[in-house]
């Protein structure tokens, strides 16, 4: 053995030839910009900013890193014969390749024998004036590239050079900048978009497998992962070439059939694809485990068990995870390090969406790592997030982005069929989903809130019974949404039904009873039953004042609804007096941007309009509109309602 760890005779058996593959013969869809950028480093095209740097193509396993390197190599082979390829899957293969290259470049065996392989090799490469390319492929464990020095410091077995037309190209799943150092240029290779994904499928399977639209839908379901696209495309081509009578049961021949099979069973009809992907990701996780990230597997399973949407990092709560035996002894720092390590290998993406820090999984990674056994843990994570200070209340405007990010995961948990018959988990799932529906309602997304609440009511009625307290709460919230949508009759029926149950269980003065009566009276008001609604509000106001006092939110709400009735009955002066009084209380308590303050101001402006104070009413509506546009957005129903009333008032002022 030599000092390099590889014998001269063994190095003679190492080939440095570029592998031939379908990537070298077909169009490499969606990678033109990167190919041009890399080829420009070698070609004589003026000043090159990254000359001498180590270029690293990084990304998820199966994203096509090696295919890009092969394409670069084959294109350059038309211009130079100095193109070398070294595999870095293991130390023996990598060191043997370096030794073979050093001998080709004329490094004497005695220099290699005394351990000067790297220094002599890079001195020779730096001295080359003609174009050359060195590819180091599959360097997923970048520690192999250190040697006696440090890769990140530029002293490793792979290092920067001084050749004017040389390119060092490394492919790796490791995308952490600290691994490669300041002298490296990282090229993040992402999955293909639907259009280029469709190109790959059509290129391989041909038009007989379906339309371009169907190919794009399948590409989206495969997450644009080139390995999956190529394997599926070849599979469909092979099946399509056989007459239908010679196809086995379960074989799919079209894009639409393949996508439907994935959606139905979550597994690849062609087992070779699943095996290849599982093997790639298993090796990635093995590598991270070897590096000391002991919780990467269970953490990936937890993330994969959430919905196919970015997962807010609040759902990776170390305190809740630490209660599970798979995370025993694992703290927040270790979980964060594991997330960064997973992101470094492309298995997840860490990003901020609408100000919310999230972690996103490739859909095929999610398919491969989801575990129904994690359902209970995921529900606990959702529950803890829903009642955290960070999440606040569903009505808090500044927290809406976080509630929106939680929404798909609550819906996903509700749809999950749990075989454990654990009512506690079901109740917690329903509780979180109900809060999410409340946020949708507050954001003005009434159709989505209604759909979710109807599903909740149906599930709870069949599991808990309609008179269960949680079921009554959801029915109450459903009636509220129906009321806002204008379905007054249905909302009134639900309120009256709930009220009867509430009275028989808790009596007339119970807070829950009073709340239901309040909302029932609001429906009666909107149905035109003004006298009936006024009687209820006057009675409720007496109760609220005696229980809570004048400044309590429930008392203010009762006075507000009474003012609405008085307004519609034509008692404008009394309605205005009440609005102005409660507005003063609201502004001193919550400020001018609070939703309740804006609602009171809106209704006060309408009274001013009916009293003939058109200029004053217009100024007030314009001010409210400005705040609502800024706070809840221009498309919120409340904003649109204010805009409509401003138009009406301006029309009365002669400004149609």
Predicted confidence (pLDDT) per residue in 185-244, tens digit? 999 999 999 999 999 999 988 888 999 999 999 999 888 988 888 878 877 887 777 777
What's residue 141's pLDDT?
A: 86
Residue 1 has pLDDT above 50, yes or no: no
Residue 321: pLDDT band (50, 70, 90) is very high
pLDDT tens string 393-416? 888 888 888 999 999 899 888 887
Cα 135 from Cα 16, distance rounded (Å): 9
pLDDT tens string 154-164? 999 999 999 88
Its domain, for residue 124, covers 8-188
- Residues 178, 206, single domain; the answer is no
Cα 603 from Cα 587, distance rounded (Å): 15
pLDDT tens string 624-653? 999 999 988 898 989 999 999 999 999 998
Which of 130, 159, 188 is at the close of a domain? 188
Share of the chain above pLDDT 90, in %: 39
Which of 127, 155, 188 is at the close of a domain? 188
Residue 170: pLDDT band (50, 70, 90) is very high
What's residue 280's pLDDT?
A: 67
Which range is least confidently modeled, 63-67, 262-266, 356-360, 613-617?
A: 262-266
What's residue 284's pLDDT?
A: 74
- Residues 148, 47, single domain; the answer is yes
Helix axis angle for 226-240 and 271-290, nearest 10°, is 160
Q: Is residue 562 part of a domain?
A: no
How do beta strands 54-58 and 166-172 pair? parallel
Mean pLDDT of 147-152: 89
Q: Is residue 627 part of a domain?
A: yes
- Residues 449, 577, single domain; the answer is no
Mean predicted lDDT score pLDDT of the chain: 85
Q: Is residue 445 part of a domain?
A: yes
pLDDT tens string 69-93? 999 999 999 899 999 999 888 787 8
- Residues 243, 352, single domain; the answer is no
What's residue 6's pLDDT?
A: 42
What's residue 2's pLDDT?
A: 36
Record the pTM: 0.69
Q: Do the Cβ atoms of 487 and 459 come closer than 8 Å?
A: no
- Residues 21, 170, single domain; the answer is yes
Q: Is residue 294 part of a domain?
A: no
What's residue 268's pLDDT?
A: 57
Q: Is residue 490 part of a domain?
A: no
What's residue 589's pLDDT?
A: 82
Mean pLDDT of 546-571: 87
DSSP state of 189: -
DSSP letter string, 269-322: SSHHHHHHHHHHHHHHHHHHHHTT-TTHHHHHHHHHTS-SSPEEGGGG-HHHHT
Cα 432 from Cα 451, distance rounded (Å): 15
Mean pLDDT of 551-566: 88
CA-nearest of 288, 286, 257 to 270 is 257
DSSP state of 165: T
- Helices in 43-85 by DSSP H: which ranges? 65-76
Which one has a higher pLDDT value, 282 or 444?
444
Q: Which helix (DSSP H) or strand (DSSP E) does residue 171 occupy?
A: strand 166-172
Q: Do the Cβ atoms of 266 and 123 come closer than 8 Å?
A: no
- Residues 184, 201, single domain; the answer is no
CA 6 to chain centre: 47
Phi, psi dihedral angles at 143 (to 5 degrees) = -65, -25
- Residues 327, 417, single domain; the answer is yes
- Residues 176, 232, single domain; the answer is no
- Residues 145, 218, single domain; the answer is no
Residue 607: pLDDT band (50, 70, 90) is very high
Residue 276: pLDDT band (50, 70, 90) is low
Phi, psi dihedral angles at 245 (to 5 degrees) = -70, -15
Residue 28: pLDDT band (50, 70, 90) is confident
Q: Do the Cβ atoms of 302 and 373 come closer than 8 Å?
A: no
Residue 597 has pLDDT above 50, yes or no: yes
Cα 35 from Cα 13, distance rounded (Å): 31
Residue 306: pLDDT band (50, 70, 90) is very high
What's residue 249's pLDDT?
A: 67
CA 577 to chain centre: 49
Residue 506: pLDDT band (50, 70, 90) is confident
When computed from its CA atoms, the radius of gyration of the chain, rounded to whole angstroms, is 33
- Residues 95, 13, single domain; the answer is yes
Distances (CA, A) of 82 to 50, 76, 87: 20, 9, 17
Is residue 186 classed as helix, strand or coil in its secondary structure? Answer: strand
- Residues 592, 466, single domain; the answer is no
- Residues 153, 227, single domain; the answer is no
DSSP state of 158: S
Q: Is residue 565 part of a domain?
A: no
Which one has a higher pLDDT value, 145 or 551?
145
Residue 552: pLDDT band (50, 70, 90) is confident
Q: Is residue 444 part of a domain?
A: yes
Mean pLDDT of 305-326: 91
Residue 620 has pLDDT above 60, yes or no: yes
Which one has a higher pLDDT value, 252 or 180?
180
User: What residues contact 16, with CB distance under 8 A and at least 6 apart?
Assistant: 84, 85, 86, 97, 100, 101, 104
pLDDT tens string 489-504? 999 999 999 999 888 8
Max CA distance (Å), the chain = 106
Which of 241, 274, 307 is at the close of a domain? 274
Residue 418: pLDDT band (50, 70, 90) is low
How many structural domains comprise the chain? Answer: 4
DSSP state of 600: H
Q: Is residue 561 part of a domain?
A: no
Q: How many CA atoms lie within 13 A of 51 on its CB side?
A: 15
């Amino acid at each position: 053995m030599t000092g390099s760890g590889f014998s001269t005779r063994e190095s003679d058996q190492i080939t440095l030839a570029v592998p031939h593959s379908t990537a070298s013969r077909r169009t490499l869809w969606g990678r033109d910009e990167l190919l041009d950028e890399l080829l420009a480093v070698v070609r004589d095209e003026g000043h090159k900013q990254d000359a001498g740097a180590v270029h690293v193509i990084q990304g998820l396993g199966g994203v096509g890193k090696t295919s890009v390197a092969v394409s670069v190599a084959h294109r350059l082979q038309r211009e130079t014969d100095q193109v070398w390829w070294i595999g870095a899957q293991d130390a023996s293969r990598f060191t043997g390749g370096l030794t073979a290259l050093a001998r080709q470049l004329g490094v004497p065996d005695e220099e290699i024998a005394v351990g000067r392989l790297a220094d002599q090799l890079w001195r020779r490469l730096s001295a080359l004036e003609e174009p050359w390319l060195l590819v180091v492929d599959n360097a997923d464990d970048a520690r192999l590239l250190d040697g006696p020095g440090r890769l990140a410091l530029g002293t490793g077995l792979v290092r920067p050079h001084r050749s004017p037309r040389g390119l060092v190209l490394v492919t790796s799943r490791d995308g952490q900048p600290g691994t490669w150092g300041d002298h490296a240029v990282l090229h993040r290779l992402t999955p293909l978009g639907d259009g280029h994904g469709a190109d790959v499928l059509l290129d391989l399977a041909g038009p007989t497998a379906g339309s371009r639209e169907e190919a794009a839908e399948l590409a989206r379901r495969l997450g644009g992962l080139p390995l999956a696209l190529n394997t599926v495309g070849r599979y469909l081509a092979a099946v399509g070439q056989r007459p239908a009578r010679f196809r086995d049961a379960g074989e799919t021949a079209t894009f639409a059939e393949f996508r439907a099979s994935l959606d139905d069973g979550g597994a690849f009809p062609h087992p070779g694809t699943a095996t290849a992907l599982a093997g790639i990701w298993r090796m990635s996780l093995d590598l991270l485990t070897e590096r000391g990230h002991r919780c990467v597997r269970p953490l990936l399973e937890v993330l994969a068990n959430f919905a196919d949407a970015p997962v807010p990092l609040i759902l990776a709560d170390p305190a809740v995870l630490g209660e599970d035996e798979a995370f025993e002894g694992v703290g927040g720092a270790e979980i964060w390090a594991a997330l960064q390590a997973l992101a470094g290998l492309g298995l997840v993406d860490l990003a901020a969406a609408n100000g919310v820090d999230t972690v996103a999984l490739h859909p095929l990674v999610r398919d491969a790592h989801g575990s129904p056994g994690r359902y209970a843990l995921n529900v606990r994570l959702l529950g803890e997030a829903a009642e955290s200070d960070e999440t606040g209340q569903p009505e808090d405007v500044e927290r809406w982005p976080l509630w929106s990010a939680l929404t798909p995961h609550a819906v996903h948990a509700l749809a999950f069929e749990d075989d454990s018959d654990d009512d506690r988990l079901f109740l917690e799932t329903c509780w979180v989903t109900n809060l999410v529906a409340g946020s949708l309602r507050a954001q003005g997304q009434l159709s989505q809130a209604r759909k979710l609440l109807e599903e909740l009511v149906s599930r709870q009625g069949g599991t808990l019974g309609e008179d269960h307290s949680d079921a009554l709460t959801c029915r109450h919230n459903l009636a509220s949404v129906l009321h806002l949508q204008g379905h007054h009759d249905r909302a009134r029926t639900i309120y009256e039904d709930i009220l009867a149950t509430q009275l028989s269980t808790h009596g007339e003065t119970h807070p829950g009873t009073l709340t239901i009566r309040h909302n029932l009276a609001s429906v009666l008001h909107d149905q035109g039953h003004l006298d009936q609604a006024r009687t209820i509000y006057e009675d409720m106001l007496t109760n609220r004042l005696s229980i809570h006092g004048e400044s309590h939110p429930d008392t203010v709400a009762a006075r507000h609804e009474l003012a609405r009735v008085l307004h519609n009955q034509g008692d404008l002066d009394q309605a205005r007096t009440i609005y102005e009084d409660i507005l003063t209380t609201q502004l001193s308590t919550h400020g001018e941007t609070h939703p309740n303050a804006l609602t009171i101001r809106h209704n006060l402006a309408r009274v001013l309009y009916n009293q003939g104070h058109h200029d004053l009413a217009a100024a007030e509506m314009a001010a409210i509109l400005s705040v609502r546009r800024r706070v809840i957005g221009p498309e919120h129903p409340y904003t649109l309602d204010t805009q409509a009333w401003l138009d009406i008032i301006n029309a009365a002022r002669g400004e149609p």
